[in-house]
Amino acid sequence: MLINPLTQLTEEEEMFRDAIRIFSEDKIKPLTQKMDEEETFDSDLLKQFFKINLMGIQIPEQWGGAGGSFFMSILAVEELSRVDPSAGVIVDVQNTLVNNALLNWGTKKQKSQYLPQLSSHKVGAYALSESGAGSDAFALKTIATADGNSFLLNGQKLWTTNALEADIFVVFATVDPNLGHRGITAFLVEKSFPGFSLGKKEIKLGIRASSTCEVILNDCRVPNENVLGEIGNGYKVSIETLNEGRIGIAGQMIGLADGALHFAIQYSRERKQFDQSLSNFQAIRFQLAELSTQLEAARLLTYNAARMKDVGKPFIREAAMAKYFASQVAEKITSQAIEILGGYGYTRDYPVEKYFRDSKIGKIYEGTSFMQLETISKFILSKKD
């Protein structure tokens, strides 16, 4: 069900999108290659994200945010990812996972304490996965033991995005392994809490400027008041937040695919072979037409899921479809963009090589493609004529 198709962006949304596009071209693009090679996100650029309210898009104005919609968060992720998907995922995790978890599950005290920080100067991270808990997220082994007016957390989290830059973490642990998913609880953990530390920083294929680190919890003391939601309700916090986050990853994928396709189109116009532009050859023209159609379809799936979320309609199936298809399309478009550029596309002198590396993660994090297909199949097979 299409709530509001691509062609019906409001004037406010168009202005917002255009402003982010200009910012991305002016401020991020000159730093993209350097950040990728150094595997570090520019700290001054991150400060600018806060300055223009990219890190608190949906946070109400009373807590220093922009008071925008979920759809606007997706637009921001898309536009940033057209230039650098590492920038897109930093903003995505902040808005669709961490901020939304607080907005949906936080107490008044938690919101008033943490949302102003997240909108103004502190980065958030989402620590769920473990070595034995990836797709089976609820097989986690991190333990939370009650100790007076606080909990002691013990365990290790892997693949935590934004970990190096973050000060505030949403951490999932179980209060009792025998309870299964009913023991899982979400905690708001500050980097400064005793017993908290970061371990290995991963060296990755793509989105290299975005930090991905191990989180080590060694008797990490967390106040009882920092339980996010109710004790034992962490699985609900996780499921509902990740359903929203998957739309953000779809936004990242269509953004990077758009960036790669745009470059391939421009190159095909300028590159001469046999005394004419590549774009004059039917083989190239038809490839570009097919890729453009698939990108538009992925964008509509993504926008539709975001619109449905904003108006309070069920969107789990739509989010899974958007993430699945957008990640498929992103990998295909970036791969074919390299082929259109030929040997140049295989070098780091041109950006399509990076787009291709960055695209691969879309099929893996925040629910693999197989998990999205499983979700979609449950919906279509449960429907009766």
- The Cα 118–Cα 69 span in angstroms is 17
**CA nearest 364: which of 337, 317, 315, 331?**
331
From the candidates 39, 165, 366, 374, give the one annotated as an active-site residue: 366
351: left (phi > 0), else alpha (psi -120 to 50), else beta?
alpha
Contacts of 202 (CB under 8 A, 6+ apart): 159, 212, 213, 214
Classified as helix, coil or strand, 220 is strand
Contact 171, 206 (CB under 8 A): no
- The Cα 198–Cα 157 span in angstroms is 9
- The Cα 112–Cα 106 span in angstroms is 9
- The Cα 339–Cα 283 span in angstroms is 12
- The Cα 55–Cα 97 span in angstroms is 11
Q: Is 366 a catalytic residue?
A: yes
- Annotated catalytic residues are 366
